[in-house]
Structure 1
């Protein structure tokens, strides 16, 4: 039903000269390992493929469910209903899709939360230019020099999303004598309260948190009612536990990982979300074969909530604090 609502549109740095004026330090190589994907034409469009080795039956049944959740149920996958924002930093390309049809776009207030932005604000700036209040979050040693107020309607905080509030010192193992840097983790519910958005709706929630999405969704967000107030969820998915050379040590651990992925997908659907779009996002690119099946370790997904009800009135303007 939503498939015919939107129009395809591209926004990139060349079309947004204001990006060049942002008061940001020179981007550094990010430690986030799935942001080094190659050019789009090198990517394989199908996330799973069979090999000549027959898959184990216990894996195949669950594989079929993952395949259905991640590709076959993408009712908007082939539709021209999603706006595409391309952002290029150095040699890597990110693609972000958003539905901006007037019947979907918020009439009263547009709020965007973006987690795991790395060092590229292109998408966040583009959304702020559409009139959204955008709050971006990430934290590594280079973010210490970033300002809080990046631009009009765009605020950046040095924090990561987590299941509970925590401060952690992170060290680089490849640097002898590294003194480390402090990282703060905040639950989304705590951030909403701190920033005055406890009763607000989120037009767009983006989670690019390098494998932590499963724990954050299952152990934190699913225990709140926040997702019921989210219209669009952009989720980078990691299947790292399914790597042939992964950390699992037994077939039972493999099954447990698959079942966890399926619980999260089922949880999203139970909260009204439907998978609208899938595409690979991988390093190298990175494909892995297991039990006769090959698939992308990383992929980008967009989930829409057709039952979402927009606010008819603005909940009020909240001035973002200088720090959390």
Structure 2
């Protein structure tokens, strides 16, 4: 798993969490976990795409995801195409990314395109991680590469093994979230929950709230990764899928 303290500390600090400065590290963690447990929107049309276990993802269709006109960005494949194939069969164009599985750029199926590129906080051609060298791009750069600059992204899904910490600052600064209807991702929370760095934990909490709240998102679902929970019973709530919906698009639909 990636451990990126420097990237976390690049998150803007101008977001008021209304937290008492005297809170302990443990109290900040408790407040953050409570925030991430709190569902703020009830989805009327919860649709599962892909397998029932690991590999599939739930999408809140309340935002009006229309077949033949929807765009999906899927980061982190790990040789499991069940989500990508299922939502492509629904009628979406899917752009899948994973530099860790040894595949070159190719067209996986009629509506699924694969790119040997990782998601990162900067544009890097030779990113060295875990003994390998990968090509990585920011979310904004990938959007430009795909010529989607003037298009709405229906679904952004990412499960990038801790890499979510490395993209948070760039996603906030770019403003790209305002053009995305649904965000689903797995948060590898163990790094934060086991950290003794109060500034780091607070910075992450601030960045997470800033990214979604300032762009009109509400949390409609969370689901703990059951297989990881069984492997690590001493670390509850540390591998969790979160599902956010952009209320702007629900309001437009209604």
Match of 1:125 among 55, 65, 85: 85
Contact 2:50 2:84 in 1 (8 A): no
In the aligned structure 1, how far is the partner of 2:123 from the partner of 2:164? 16
Question: After superposition, what is the alpha-carbon deviation per residue over 1:263-308, rounded to whole angstroms, capped at 9, x for unaligned?
Answer: 133111111111110011152432445xxxxx32110010001113
Contact 1:286 1:298 in 2 (8 A): no
In the aligned structure 1, how far is the partner of 2:105 from the partner of 2:208? 36
Residue 149 of structure 2: aligned partner? 198
In the aligned structure 2, how far is the partner of 1:279 from the partner of 1:305? 19
For structure 1, list consecutive stretches of 5 or more residues without a partner in the other structure.
1-30, 33-55, 173-179, 290-294, 313-324
Residue 55 of structure 2: aligned partner? 94
Residue 102 of structure 2: aligned partner? 143
For structure 2, list consecutive stretches of 5 or more residues without a partner in the other structure.
3-21
Helix, strand or coil for the counterpart of 2:83? helix
Match of 1:227 among 151, 159, 177: 177
Shift of 1:204: 0.1
In the aligned structure 2, how far is the partner of 1:225 from the partner of 1:171? 27
Cα gap change, 1:266 to 1:196, in 2 (>3 Å): same
Contact 2:127 2:136 in 1 (8 A): no
Helix, strand or coil for the counterpart of 2:77? coil
Cα gap change, 1:206 to 1:303, in 2 (>3 Å): same
Match of 1:257 among 193, 196, 200: 200
Shift of 1:171: 7.5
Residue 159 of structure 1: aligned partner? 117
Residue 70 of structure 1: aligned partner? 36
Runs ≥4 residues deviating over 4 A:
169-172, 309-312
Cα gap change, 1:309 to 1:224, in 2 (>3 Å): farther
In the aligned structure 1, how far is the partner of 2:136 from the partner of 2:252? 29
In the aligned structure 1, how far is the partner of 2:92 from the partner of 2:252? 14
Shift of 1:60: 4.3
Helix, strand or coil for the counterpart of 1:143? coil
Helix, strand or coil for the counterpart of 1:193? helix
Indicate the larger mover: 298-307 or 233-242.
233-242
Cα gap change, 1:63 to 1:171, in 2 (>3 Å): closer
Match of 2:239 among 298, 309, 323: 298
In the aligned structure 1, how far is the partner of 2:26 from the partner of 2:128? 39
RMSD after superposition: 2.9
Contact 1:74 1:278 in 2 (8 A): no
TM-score, normalising length: structure 1: 0.63
Shift of 1:80: 6.0
Match of 2:220 among 256, 264, 276: 276
Number of equivalences: 231
Answer 1 or 2: which has greater helix percent.
2
Cα gap change, 1:196 to 1:310, in 2 (>3 Å): farther
Helix, strand or coil for the counterpart of 2:151? coil
In the aligned structure 1, how far is the partner of 2:78 from the partner of 2:213? 28
Contact 1:124 1:136 in 2 (8 A): yes
Contact 1:107 1:310 in 2 (8 A): no
Contact 2:67 2:90 in 1 (8 A): no
Q: Greater Rg, structure 1 or structure 2? A: 1
